[in-house]
Amino acid sequence: MNKGLVSVLAAALLLGQAHAQEKVTLTVAVFPSLDSSIKAILPAWQKKYPNVTINMQAQQYADHHNAMTTALATGQGLPDVMAIEVGYVAKFAEGQGLEDLNKAPYNAAAAKKLFTPFTIAQATSSDGRFIAMPTDIGPGTFFYRKDVLDKAGVNPVNMQRSWESYIAAGKTIKAKTGAYLVNTAASVYGIIIRTNLKPGEGIYFDKGNNLLVGPDNARFVRAFTLSKQIRDAGLDAKVGEWTNEWYDAFKKGTVATQFSGAWLQGALQNWMAPDTKGLWRVQNLPERSFASWGGTFYGIPSKAKNKGWAWEFIKFMTMNQSAQIAAFEDNGAFPALVSAQKDKVFSEPVDFLGGQKARVLWRDAAAKTQPIDVNKYDSVADQIVQTELTNVLEKGKDIKQALSDARAQILRRAR
Amino acid sequence: MSHRLPAPARARLSYARLQQRFAPYVFVSPFFLLFLVFGLFPLLFSLFLAFHLWSPLDGLGHWKFVGFENFALALDRQDQFWTTLKNTVWIGLLAGVPQHLAALPLAFLIHQSLRRYQSTLSTVLFLPYITNAVAIAIVFATLYSERLGLLNYLRGLVGLDPVRWLGDPSMVPYSVAAVVFWRYLGWNVVLYLSGLQAISEDVYEAATVDGAGKWQQFWYITLPLLRPMMFYAFTLTIVGNMQLFEEPFMLLGDGGGSSGAGLTTAMHIFNTAFRDLDMGYASAMSWLLFLAIFALSMVNNVLFSRGGER
């Protein structure tokens, strides 16, 4: 029997079992606000598969991932479908507890072409296993307050040209309106290290697991230098994300720009600053760079009980155009499915952004975002470099020294 | 004596007899079972892990023996472990020392002069201890808020510049320590109060008859007789502050705030285990933290046993 026939038979068996009319309860472990997306799609699923009940187990973001880590470690209490946020997907990919979707009966190779390309790389382990299907993405752009820029007489296009022109515009804005350029200097660092990567490079490590952080890496030196310039010029509000000051800055327009994924529009409109409707616009990041903020995936644990139905569920959630649109309209979960991005809602103007056709811009940014190699020590490197960055910003530590200290610390931990 | 019962034959090992013999073991078994599962097993498992490299995502059994590498890693001077240990001790001192300096006189005052309000005062002081950490974090994050917070508003009223309580790395330890101080002060007052109540009134009466003043009574009677309770309270503070986690975690997030100035060892261990998924290194650090706590407790022990009466 050849290999192709085996996989066809296996698929037939699996589907045969899956489509039998017995009652099935499928456990799906998720975090907010993904549960809201799923609820928006569930009626359609129930209509198609009335015998399959979805038992949704939603926990807070960190609790969910801790629970999934423990479940994978012990092989106990695993759900049938596991939602994974982009911050965890690389670590989960390097572990051995999730099904390789490249293999039969899933054969996801063909499906992979349907998604925004960089997400596939995020869910692929270094040994080539594809462990989770993407459902939503966070194409990155920058939001700016049109009213503040107008008052300062700054043309937003100028802010896009280079980081230097972005900072220069920030000085004008500060002088003319008193508004800060950005919430914290660290967010400029965050984008620069995520853009202009060479093929085969990740943020902190390259494909061969070589550490890129160090005093000789131009990307990190530039990111640290520009952050420091912004801090020294008094252009950042020194406000962390997800704090009361952050929301207050959005409401009062005391910060002129914010780098973010497309989802920020939904958050601003729904709860952060609904009264600022019409005052915001978006445009691409400076130096025509592209980055992504966030993203969600679904994987199947190897020890799941209903793998057949799990796969059906995942396909329904990720590859079904109307499901993806429903999630997008429910809470702004930007579809990872390319064909869903061609839906007519994407060419509709966004009222909150003064009627700007922003979704086209996001779609374009998503298509241009390069795949970034991920590494299981990314979180170790991230924390160490962030700490060194604050040492530079807050304590005036020398940039080269900070980067070589960071390098030494990361090398020790990444074993 | 002929009253002794004849030895029971094997056949007479009846149910009743079995029950009599084993029932006590069955009745005490829940503690031991729970201890085995939730106490001893994790303890031994973490000792085992301390000598291995293991990511939980690889599943049980996929660990790699690395000998003392994890310990060597932590003990390297450049490693974050030292920084976090320094942070922990510094925040612990900032919170712990004032705590006892305030709790002892407060308890004495309540015991001596405000006895009528003792239960009310104890309850009020004890409340922070039983308040949910999340609620505390929300309230203090609001107080500490740089632009919207009450503290900076009050500073503004008297013409002082706002302070970045949770943003400035040099302020972070004080801000965290203040919360810890506030939270556990009542606990210590209650401890000292119970210690004071154990001191017989007769001693004070005798001292009064001998003409000792309030201050002398405090210095020569209360303090020496309170030594055992002080030893107990200090030990609890050392152990608790060295394991400080909730307050900085809730106020500053898992990174420990600006420059990681509020990153305690317990937080670092948690991050290493559950964010970086390096269980072996986290276990090794847990054991090192245990040794540090043990050493400090011993120092405390020595300081207290000096001078005899304990």
Could you tell me if A323 and A44 are in contact, meaning their C-beta atoms sit under 8 angstroms apart? Answer: yes
pLDDT band at A249 (very low <50, low <70, confident <90, very high): very high
Within 8 A of A96 by CB-CB distance, chain B residues are 57-59, 62
Test mutation, B46, B52, B55, B57, chain A, max A CBs within 10 A: B57
Within A207-338, residue ranges assigned H as helices are: 218-232, 244-252, 263-267, 307-319, 321-331
Identify the closest residue of chain A to B258 by CA–CA distance. A390
Rounded Cα gap, residues B203 and A71, in angstroms = 61
A267 pLDDT above the threshold of 90: no
**For chain A, percent of residues with pLDDT exceeding 70:** 95
Mean pLDDT, chain A, as a whole number? 90
* Least Cα separation, residue A69 to chain B (angstroms): 6
pLDDT value, residue A5: 47
pLDDT value, residue B186: 92
pLDDT value, residue B310: 42
Q: What is the pTM of this model?
A: 0.84
User: pLDDT, tens digit, for every residue of A60-107?
Assistant: 988 999 999 999 988 889 999 999 998 889 889 888 899 999 998 999
pLDDT band at B6 (very low <50, low <70, confident <90, very high): low
Picking from A195, A83, A210, the residue whose alpha carbon sits closest to that of residue A142 is A195
Q: What is the mean pLDDT of residues A356-383?
A: 89
pLDDT band at B12 (very low <50, low <70, confident <90, very high): low
Q: What is the mean pLDDT of residues A5-29?
A: 64
Task: Return residues 256-315 of A near B (CB < 8 Å).
Answer: none
DSSP state of B40: I
Task: Return residues 66-85 of A near B (CB < 8 Å).
Answer: 66, 69-70, 72-75
Rounded Cα gap, residues A226 and B101, in angstroms = 47
- Nearest by CB to A96, which of B59, B73, B79? B59
DSSP assignment of B69-97: HHHHHHHSTTSHHHHHHHHHHHHHHHHHH
Picking from B80, B168, B87, the residue whose alpha carbon sits closest to that of residue A394 is B168
Identify the closest residue of chain A to B164 by CA–CA distance. A238
Within 8 A of B275 by CB-CB distance, chain A residues are 379
State the count of interchain CB pairs (< 8 A) between A and B: 93
A8 pLDDT above the threshold of 70: no
Query: Do the chains contact at B164 and A377, CB–CB below 8 Å?
Result: no
Q: What is the mean pLDDT of residues A245-267?
A: 92
Please tell me if residue A334 touches chain B, with a CB cutoff of 8 Å: no
Within 8 A of B73 by CB-CB distance, chain A residues are 412-413
Q: Which of A137-141, A276-280, B133-137 has the highest mean pLDDT?
A: A276-280
Picking from A300, A299, A301, the residue whose alpha carbon sits closest to that of residue A73 is A301
User: pLDDT, tens digit, for every residue of B79-128?
Assistant: 889 999 999 999 999 999 999 999 998 998 888 887 788 888 888 888 99
Whether ipTM > 0.85 holds is no
A356 pLDDT above the threshold of 80: yes
Give me A111's structure tokens.
């499906």
Task: Return residues 116-155 of B near A (CB < 8 Å).
Answer: 141-142, 145-148
**Residue B300 CB-half CA count within 13 A:** 19
More confident residue, A332 or A134: A134
pLDDT value, residue B1: 45
- Which residues on adjacent β-strands are paired with residue A145? A280
Within 8 A of A75 by CB-CB distance, chain B residues are 59-60
pLDDT value, residue A1: 40
